[in-house]
Structure 1
Amino acid sequence: MNERYEKLMPHFAQILQLADAVIITDEQHIICCVNRAYERITGYTNEEVVGRKAGILRTKHTPLETYKLMHESLSSGLPWSGIFTNRKRSGELWHSSITITPYEIGQQIYYVGVFRNLEELQRGYYLDEQRVGNLQGSLLKVLAISCEIRDPGIENHLIRVQSLTELLVHRYVEQFRLALPAAYILQIINGSILHDIGKSAIPEGILYKPGSLAPYERTIIEMHPHIGVDILDKINGELDDELFEHEISVAKNIILHHHERWDGTGYPLRLKQLDIPLEARIVTVVDVYDALTTKRPYKEKWTPKAAIEWLLEQKGKQFDPDLVDAFVSLYEDGLLD
């Protein structure tokens, strides 16, 4: 340890005695010293890391947004807490909850980071938000496709609806400068693939019937949103998991309300305008667009231009006007090909 860092030891001696891993850096994020817990967890000795950038443990598994928020807080002189997925000297990944606090010593700023190694928690386990989102998305995709396996073409429809939902929700947020939580946006994208899960209980003779439906057949078709919600409720009941129930609440809104209309003439509850959850209004637009532009046994496909013209015609009737505008802008930018 060089002379500069030795002078800092009296200021940080007690902090370095903590049972959790501690790392101290200067204002340029150069490591000044670490404690024994840090050495034990990471496999790096104090001598190996002093003078090196704190990012030596960094991996691509920590979202860039996390680093952005950290730098914004620290540059403002504020402490910051978050989750990192780092890599040990051995190459093994490790997850940690970290709090970084700025300290001023002799007009110089230092950062003290205290890590809690999440793998060493006595109970439970930890998954970072990105991994949770990926797992949720994969599970919901499997569930949706499994329920619709009798129709080989439906898988492509579900995946297209999900891709279009992702495009639309991001364009809508950007165009109208909304501050929607990232977790909510991900729940909309993941949940969109389940929108028609209730159709798995509808007889094929009705579901794929060419031509118009009889009144009783229309009534049966309009039951599928309630059936879809019932399917998710049954799964949740088996799991008895409060976290899962919270995560699928957005998906349930999509399933139940994606056939509601902006003017209140939709089904099953005849909700109108902003009473319809945003996630359902988004999926309504992309579901209709994909249905129109896809050939099915009972219909020919429309051109994208014709489908866009239909959306514009139904703007303020079937669809949220702002969402139609956002979707049309995607078409104009050539992103719907």
Structure 2
Amino acid sequence: MPIVLSGYLKLGDAVIITDQDHRILDINRYYEQTTGYSRDSIIGFKAGFLKSGLTPAATYTSLKSEMKRGNPWSGVFTNRKKSGEIWHSSITITPIQLENKLYFVGIFRELEQLKEGIYLSEKKRAETQRELLKVLAISCEIRDPGIEEHLLRVQTLSEKLVYMHDRRMQLKLSESYKSHIAHASILHDIGKAEIPEGILYKPGPLSPYERKIIEMHPLMGADILNKISREINNEVISSLEVAENIILYHHEKWDGTGYPHRLKGEEIPLEARITAIVDVFDALTSRRAYKDSWSVARALSFLNEQKGKHFDPDMVESFFNYFDERGE
């Protein structure tokens, strides 16, 4: 190995140097400490012997593509130490041409050893957030055994609608924002956990007093969320502001006659306008103890009637476009 490459071994991160066939030429002491393998025991081995099978195939595809172009590559590997323990590392691999020979210098930083915070891939963070919010929503409405299916349909349809509306209106919303809307929509009615069952499931008409209690559930839901959020690791659950907006404002109406704050038009956050349509549509097309389910056509006709009254007109059009694309 050329002497000039030895300088990389003095870096404070784990370093591995391989030849063009990816056989290990040298490692530094930080690499030994991290992996548990001694220098003498792995020189000559292919660098891939550390693979755990848990790194996504797309990561290796990206790596090989950049290496063929002679470019440096950065990414995250999930490898296995000598002890069998899994470790995650942020790695940069740089090809270096010396004396007509190609070498690769890999610099690793073990993510588990970062002094502050935790590491989660964006995909894993999204999956974790979705599941935690689902558990929270269902646990708050456990008195209604049929509610889980409604909540999951609202979550799925909110995701479809936000992507359709973003594309149709060319809003260029960020992926994280759209994801937060989809995940948080499942929480829209958690405030009903605070409503007495005698009022919540009353078979007949509500009195003005009982109606007032029902209309308090968005405020109760926001209070529940704020109490819980103080105990949640923000690295796992992010952007609870979107969830709070959905909980507080999904019963507001475009014409200002909704509740609890009588917001009007675009004063109502976008995420709440999305959930409002989806929640009403699913309620109409679902069978309940006190009513039969409506057909999709009848429910869509109702939404059209309420365009500009209950619902954002542009959002209704996006909702119709979603069904048009499905051939419905």
More displaced 10-residue stretch of structure 1: 297-306 or 97-106: 97-106
More displaced 10-residue stretch of structure 1: 167-176 or 263-272: 167-176
Secondary structure at the aligned position of 1:98 is classed as strand
Q: Are residue 194 (structure 1) and residue 187 (structure 2) matched? A: yes
Match in the other structure for 1:276: 268
C-alpha change, 1:167 and 1:215, in structure 2 (3 Å) is: same
Q: Are residue 150 (structure 1) and residue 143 (structure 2) matched? A: yes
Match in the other structure for 2:45: 48
Secondary structure at the aligned position of 2:219 is classed as helix
AA paired with 1:254?
I
Describe the superposition over 1:173-193 as per-residue Cα deviations: whole angstroms up to 9, x where unpaired. 344444433333332222111
Q: Is the 8 A contact 2:254 2:311 kept in 1?
A: yes
Work out the CA distance in 2 between the residues paired with 1:218 and 1:119: 52
Q: Is the 8 A contact 1:17 1:35 kept in 2?
A: no
C-alpha change, 1:31 and 1:76, in structure 2 (3 Å) is: closer
AA paired with 1:191?
A
Selected match of 1:220 from 213, 218, 227: 213
AA paired with 1:196?
D
- Percent identity among equivalent residues? 49
Selected match of 1:138 from 119, 125, 131: 131
Q: Unpaired runs of 5+ in structure 2? A: none
Q: CA RMSD in A?
A: 3.8
Work out the CA distance in 2 between the residues paired with 1:74 and 1:316: 56
C-alpha change, 1:300 and 1:184, in structure 2 (3 Å) is: same
Secondary structure at the aligned position of 1:97 is classed as strand
More displaced 10-residue stretch of structure 1: 262-271 or 287-296: 262-271
Describe the superposition over 1:138-193 as per-residue Cα deviations: whole angstroms up to 9, x where unpaired. 22211211111111111111111112122222333344444433333332222111
Please state how far the C-alpha of 1:267 moved relative to its aligned partner.
1.6
Please state how far the C-alpha of 1:63 moved relative to its aligned partner.
9.6
AA paired with 1:218?
R
Work out the CA distance in 1 between the residues paired with 2:105 and 2:309: 57
Work out the CA distance in 1 between the residues paired with 2:267 and 2:204: 32
Match in the other structure for 2:322: 330
Q: Are residue 205 (structure 1) and residue 202 (structure 2) matched? A: no
Please state how far the C-alpha of 1:317 moved relative to its aligned partner.
2.8
Match in the other structure for 1:254: 246
Please state how far the C-alpha of 1:298 moved relative to its aligned partner.
2.2
Please state how far the C-alpha of 1:211 moved relative to its aligned partner.
5.0
AA paired with 1:187?
H
Secondary structure at the aligned position of 1:142 is classed as helix
Please state how far the C-alpha of 1:10 moved relative to its aligned partner.
4.3
AA paired with 1:47?
G
Work out the CA distance in 1 between the residues paired with 2:307 and 2:100: 60
Describe the superposition over 1:46-97 as per-residue Cα deviations: whole angstroms up to 9, x where unpaired. 52226x7x9x848566595x78998999999997765x24232766532122
Selected match of 1:303 from 276, 279, 295: 295
Please state how far the C-alpha of 1:323 moved relative to its aligned partner.
2.7
Work out the CA distance in 1 between the residues paired with 2:239 and 2:279: 22
Work out the CA distance in 1 between the residues paired with 2:111 and 2:159: 31
Please state how far the C-alpha of 1:109 moved relative to its aligned partner.
9.3
Secondary structure at the aligned position of 1:271 is classed as coil
C-alpha change, 1:78 and 1:181, in structure 2 (3 Å) is: farther
Q: Are residue 181 (structure 1) and residue 174 (structure 2) matched? A: yes
Pairing of 1:103-114 with structure 2 (within 5 A): 112-114=105-107
C-alpha change, 1:60 and 1:280, in structure 2 (3 Å) is: farther
More displaced 10-residue stretch of structure 1: 205-214 or 39-48: 39-48
Q: Is the 8 A contact 2:22 2:104 kept in 1?
A: no
Q: Is the 8 A contact 2:54 2:79 kept in 1?
A: no
- Give the alignment's TM-score, normalised by structure 1: 0.77
Work out the CA distance in 1 between the residues paired with 2:68 and 2:300: 46
Query: When the two structures are aligned, how many residues end up with a matched partner?
Result: 321
